[in-house]
């Protein structure tokens, strides 16, 4: 049995943050009913299209396993259908701009009144405070949540990361909140309000940087390269380049094959516990006992020299050879993998983390499947729905409208053409 089988989600989400959340719930068996504006749908259906007139990869990769109903929820008949959906479903998930659902007439108080067992979950850019009314997108959240100020090279501009920690990260947080509220409902019998702000979600993912902010009050951050290079620290946790955040010096180093592969690099951590192994591997056995290199403290002012020597060695090996040699010696390393390599990775395909899905109008496409594996509740990744593909099915099977009533709903224009 699928873990969330029997749970119905009224999915009012769009773009990336909300759809990430409802996709996770759909993967583990929830019946996710995506409500979309008639004839328009989720804006991402048409965004960055690679094939003309076909749902984009943006949409198809974020809306697996869902059903789609077209419904104008600002129009009278549409509102009636929405009320029936609220009465029938367990969870309403939305990530509209602040105030949009209230303007539509469906505040938390109203939803709770219609169905006291319903859990209502929302993503907004900011929590209550000065910015609460702002619309927010991924990179805004990365900047406002502390990721950008702590990412990038020291003295250079702040950087955003390719990982969608604002959108997908907050979707993950919301999914956790929903499952928790569902568990709580088992005891209380009541639904509750679940909210996740993108700024808060990003800050949660940046918590080690808030750790460093507080450590700064007690002196410089000795594991940052900046310390070894004698560059003074300011008042805020600085950008740390590719330094490792865990207290053990680490860098990205070039490997063999760089001309053919722009990602021919490895991450290399000079973990104190395996320092002697590092010395042997790179051909510097004399550093094992040399007081200038033997201890982590002695190495701190010499990290550039140490990593230059390691890089001289890594440049004689491919990133995969570095892995093969260092792993048995417990030296933490990792190849920099390109999206091409990940898309083609056989192990990721075998575990279902990378999946190939067939779609009626676009054909086969590659997507990311559920990264969380449950031993008794496997995830099945199905294609995303076409706009309004399940409108009649939902009206009849889920909401029990008669054939005659469905005709009337169509005639009202509430579900589009």
Residues that bind ligand COA (CB under 6 A): 15-18, 35-37, 71-74, 95-97, 100, 103-104, 123-125, 135-137, 167
CB of 266 to ligand COA, least distance (A): 33
Residue nearer to ligand COA on the CB measure, 136 or 148: 136
User: The tokens 């053409």 sit on which residue?
Assistant: 417
3-state secondary structure 197-242: EHHHHHHHHCHHHHHHHHHHHHCCCCCCHHHHCCCCCCCCCCCCCC
Per annotation, catalytic residue among 167, 200, 212, 243: 167
- How would you classify the pairing of strands 354-359 and 333-335? unpaired
Residue nearer to ligand COA on the CB measure, 142 or 379: 142
CB of 58 to ligand COA, least distance (A): 10
Residue nearer to ligand COA on the CB measure, 74 or 407: 74
How many CB atoms are closer than 10 A to CB 286?
Answer: 9
Among residues 10, 11, 17, the alpha carbon closest in space to that of 171 is found at 17
CB of 256 to ligand COA, least distance (A): 40
Residue closest to ligand COA (Cβ): 97
CB of 340 to ligand COA, least distance (A): 26
For residue 308, indicate whether it is catalytic: no
Residue nearer to ligand COA on the CB measure, 58 or 275: 58
Residue nearer to ligand COA on the CB measure, 37 or 288: 37
Q: Which residues are tagged catalytic?
A: 167
């Amino acid at each position: 049995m699928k873990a969330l089988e029997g749970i119905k989600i009224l999915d009012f989400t769009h773009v990336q943050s909300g759809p990430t959340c409802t996709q996770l719930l759909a993967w583990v068996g929830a019946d996710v009913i995506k409500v979309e504006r008639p004839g328009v749908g989720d804006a991402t259906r048409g965004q960055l299209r690679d094939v003309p007139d076909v749902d984009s990869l943006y949409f198809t990769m974020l809306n697996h396993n869902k059903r789609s109903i077209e419904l104008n929820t600002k129009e009278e008949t549409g509102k009636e259908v929405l009320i029936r959906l609220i009465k029938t479903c367990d969870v309403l998930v939305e990530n509209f701009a602040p105030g949009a659902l209230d303007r539509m007439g469906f505040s938390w108080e109203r939803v709770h009144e219609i169905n006291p067992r319903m859990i209502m979950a929302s993503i907004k850019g900011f929590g209550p405070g000065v910015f609460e009314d702002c619309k927010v997108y991924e990179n805004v959240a990365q900047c406002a949540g502390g990721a950008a100020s702590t990412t990038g090279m020291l003295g250079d501009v702040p950087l955003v990361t390719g990982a969608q920690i604002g959108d997908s990260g907050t979707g993950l947080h919301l999914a956790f909140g929903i499952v928790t509220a569902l568990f709580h409902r088992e005891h209380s019998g009541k639904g509750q309000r679940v909210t996740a702000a993108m700024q808060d979600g990003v800050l949660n993912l940046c918590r080690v940087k808030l750790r460093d902010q507080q450590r700064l009050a007690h002196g410089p951050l000795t594991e940052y390269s900046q310390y070894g290079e004698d560059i003074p620290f300011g008042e805020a946790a600085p950008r740390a380049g590719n330094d490792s955040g865990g207290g053990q010096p680490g860098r990205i180093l070039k490997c063999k094959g760089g001309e053919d592969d722009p990602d021919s690099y490895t991450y290399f951590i000079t973990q104190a516990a395996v320092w002697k192994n590092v010395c042997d591997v790179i051909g510097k056995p004399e550093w094992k006992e040399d007081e200038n290199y033997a201890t982590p403290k002695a190495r701190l002012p010499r990290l550039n020299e140490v990593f230059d020597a390691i890089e001289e060695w890594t440049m004689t090996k491919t990133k995969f050879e570095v892995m093969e040699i260092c792993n048995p010696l417990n030296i933490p390393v990792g190849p920099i993998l390109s999206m091409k390599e990940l898309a083609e990775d056989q192990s990721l395909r075998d575990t279902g983390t990378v999946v190939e899905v067939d779609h009626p109008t676009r054909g086969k496409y590659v997507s990311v499947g559920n990264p969380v594996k449950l031993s008794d509740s496997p995830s099945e990744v199905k294609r995303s729905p076409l706009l309004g593909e399940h409108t009649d099915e939902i009206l009849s099977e889920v909401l029990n409208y008669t054939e005659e009533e469905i005709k009337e709903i169509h005639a009202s224009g509430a579900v589009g053409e």
